[in-house]
Amino acid sequence: MDLSRRSLLQAAGAAAGLVGFAPGLANAGTVLPANAPTPPRGPGEGQGPFRKLVIRGVNLIVGADGEVRGPVDVVVRGNRIDQIIPAGQPSRALPAGRPPHDAEHEIDATGMWMMPGLVDEHSHTGTGGTPRTYAYKLWLGHGVTTVRGVSLAKNPDAVSDKERSERNEIVAPRIVNYQTPGSGWEEGPIDSPGKARRWVAWAARNGVDGIKFFGEGPYGRPEIEAAIRAAQQAGLGTTMHHSPPIYPQLNALETAQLGLGTITHFYGHFEALLKEGREHPKPPDYDYSNEASRWRAVAEVIDYTFPPGSPQWRSYLSRQLDSGVTFGPTFGVYLAGRDLLRARGLEWHPRFVLPSLWNFWEPSPEAHGSFYYDWNSEDEASWKRFYVQYLQLVHDYKEMGGRIAGGTDPGFIYNLYGFANINELEMLREAGLSALEAIEAMSSATARTIAEPTGRAPEYGAVKEGFIADLAITGHNPLEDLKTLYGTGTPRLDPETGDITRTGGVQWTIRNGVVYDAKRLLADVAEMVQAQKSQGACGDVDPDWSMSGPCGGSPGVGVAPPAKPAKRAAPLP
C-alpha cells in the first residue's frame, strides 16, 4: 500500500484493564499524535539485557534448515545467544540443578516453545493517525522483532527510531529503513537517471537501508534501472510494488532481471504471464484513480494469462529463480477482497483497533485501501478465483527453490499490526508451505533478503549460537496450530470440565536481549484503545458500518439495538 490517507484522529492513550492481561505499563497512558517522537522505554517495560540470561527446558524451532529440537537450555549474554545446550530427553523429567549456573536472570520455559522473532518484509506505521508506539507494541506482543519499513515513517523519524531501538531506548522491534525514491531530500522528484543515482547516494549517507519503488511515477523504467544499479553499488536493498501504471514499461520479470531484490504483493506477476499484450483488457468505465474500479479489475487478469502448470507458467518461475528475486506475497492484506464480512468481524478488533484506525478502514473513496463501499458477492467470487492462482504461484516458486519472505502491509483493510503476522503465517500455510516453512519464511528467509545487499550474513532470524537474541516463547507448539500465536489466543475444549477456554498467545518476546512480557504489551494497546474511546473518538465512526469495530454500532438495517451493551468479546488469556 502507499501512504496517502485522509486526515483522521491522531490520539492514543490510557485507561481500563483487560481480562487476563496484566495492568498497563509506563507510557500506556500517554496521548500521542502520529508524528510524535516514540516515548522512551519506561520503568518496568522489559528487563535486560542481562549479563547472563538462561532460558531453561524449551523446545526449539531454529527457524532455518527445517531444524526442530529440544528440550534445550539457551544461554544469552547481553544481546547474543551464547550457548544452546541439550537439557535432557524429550518426554522425561529434566535433571534438577543442571548447569549452566550463575545466571543473572532465568526463565523457566519447561515444555514451552521457542522460535526466532518474526521478521516482516513489508511494514508501515501511521495509518489513520496511529502513533508508532501502538504498532510497535502490537508487533512485539506477537513476537515480531524486526520490521522492514517500506516506508515506516519519514526518514528522520525512521532513522531516529531505528537507532534508539538498537540502543534499547524505546519499546520497538528492529527497524530496517526503506524509503521511496526522492523522499527526504530537497532536490525534488526523481525524473531522470542521473537524479536517481544522486538520490541513492544521498539515501546511503542518510540512514536509508533500501529503496521501495512504486509504479506511479514520476520515475519510470530508466530511473528505476539506474536506482537499482546504484543501490547495488551502495549496499542498499530494493523492493517494488508494481503499480499498474508501470505495466507498459515493466512487469515483475523485467524488474527482477534488472536486479530487483523483492517483488512485493501480486502486482506484475500475472502481467508477465499474459497471453498477449502488457495489460489485460479493462471495462469501458475503468478508472485507475477509482480504487473500487481498480481492485475489481485486478482479479480479472487471470482470465487472460497462461494457466498454472503450463510451459509458460513454469518458464516464468524458472526465469525468476535464475534472477534470484524474492517473492513477498502479502496474502493477508487483500483478504477482504474475497470475504469482506470475515475481515470486518475479526474478534480482536473491538479491543485492539484504535477508533481512528477503524475510521480510516471504513468504506470511502478517499482513504487508500477502503475501496469496498459497493463490494458485492460477485467481486468476492472473482477474488476467490484469483487467490487460487496466486497461492499456486507462490507455492510453485517455493517448490522450485525460490525464496518466499513473509510480510503483512499492516494498517490497511482490517489488517492489524501483529495479528496480521500470524494471519500471514496461516496464509502461507494455505499456499502449501508447511507451518515450519511459513515460520522460516517470516524469519530467516526475510533476514537473508534484508542482509544480502549489504554483503554480510544475517545476525538474526534464527535461533543459533552467535546470533542476536531476538526470540519468541509461547506455551504451545505453533507447528501444530499457528492460531495459538494470536494475541487473543484460540479456543480449546477442556476434556475434564467440558468447558471451552482460551489459550495461547506469545508469552515472552526477547528483542536484542531485552525480555518483554508480550501479554503486558497487548494490555498497553488495549488501554490506548480505551483511552481514545474515552476522549470521544467514536464520535467520528459511522454506526451503520461499524458494529464489528471498537465503537460498536447498529446491529443491522431495521434492527433495534439492545437495551444494554452486550459483552462482545470473549475473555482473553
CATH of the domain at 194: 3.20.20.140
Residue 555 counted as domain residue: no
Which pLDDT band holds residue 179 (cuts at 50, 70, 90)? Answer: very high
pLDDT for position 26: 45
HEC string of 320-349? HHHHCCEEECCCHHHHHHCCHHHHHCCCCH
pLDDT band at 378 (very low <50, low <70, confident <90, very high): very high
Residues with Cβ within 8 Å of 32's Cβ and at least 6 positions away in sequence, in order, are 11, 12, 13, 39, 131, 133
pLDDT over 70 at 13, yes or no: no
Rg for the chain (alpha carbons), in Å?
Answer: 23
pLDDT in tens, 483-509: 999 999 999 999 999 999 999 999 999
Residue 330 in grid coordinates = 502479502
pLDDT, tens only, 350-371: 999 999 999 989 888 877 788 8
Let me know: does 94 contact 87? Beta carbons within 8 Å. Answer: yes
| Cβ atoms of residues 460 and 467 within 8 Å | yes
Distance CA 265, CA 337 (A): 14
**In this structure, is residue 93 part of a structural domain?**
no
Q: Would you state the cell numbers that stand for residue 422, as one nine-digit string?
A: 500470524
Q: Which DSSP category does 499 fall into? A: -
Helix (H) / strand (E) containing 357: helix 355-361
User: 363 versus 344: which is more confidently predicted?
Assistant: 344
pLDDT of amino acid 8:
27
Specify if 466 maps to a domain: no
Average of per-residue pLDDT across 323-346: 96
Is 78 inside any structural domain?
no
Residue 210 phi/psi, 5-degree rounding, is -175, 175
Structural domain contains residue 355:
yes
Q: What is the pLDDT of residues 509-560, one digit of tens each?
A: 999 999 999 999 999 999 999 999 999 988 878 777 677 889 887 665 566 6
Query: How far is residue 553's CA from residue 542's CA, in Å, rounded to a whole number?
Result: 7
User: Taking the CB of residue 449, how many other CB atoms lie within 10 A of it?
Assistant: 27
Residue 99: strand, helix, or coil? coil
- What average pLDDT is seen over the chain? 91
| Mean pLDDT score, 345-352 | 95
Task: Estimate the crossing angle of helix 377-400 against helix 419-430, to 10 degrees.
Answer: 70
pTM of the predicted model as reported, rounded to 2 decimal places: 0.92
> pLDDT tens-digit profile of 26-82?
455 444 777 789 999 999 999 999 999 999 999 999 999 999 999 999 999 999 999
Distance CA 266, CA 512 (A): 33
d(CA 324, CA 296): 31
Give the model's pLDDT for residue 68.
98
Residue 564 lies in a domain: no
| 21 located within any domain | no
Contact 485, 425 (CB under 8 A): yes
Confidence of residue 21 (pLDDT cuts 50, 70, 90): very low
Q: Domain residues for 181?
A: 116-454
Model pLDDT, residue 111:
96
Asked if residue 472 has pLDDT above 50, the reply is yes
Report how many domains make up the chain.
1
User: Distance (Å, rounded) from C-alpha 313 to C-alpha 31?
Assistant: 52
Instruction: Look at residue 367 and tell me if it is in a domain.
Output: yes
Count the Cβ atoms, other than its own, within 10 Å of residue 320.
23
Q: What is the pLDDT of residue 15?
A: 25
Instruction: Look at residue 558 in the predicted model and tell me its pLDDT.
Output: 62
Q: Residue 442, exposed/middle/buried by CB under 10 A (0-12, 13-18, 19+)?
A: buried
Mean pLDDT throughout 443-456?
99
Partnered with residue 501 across adjacent β-strands are 492
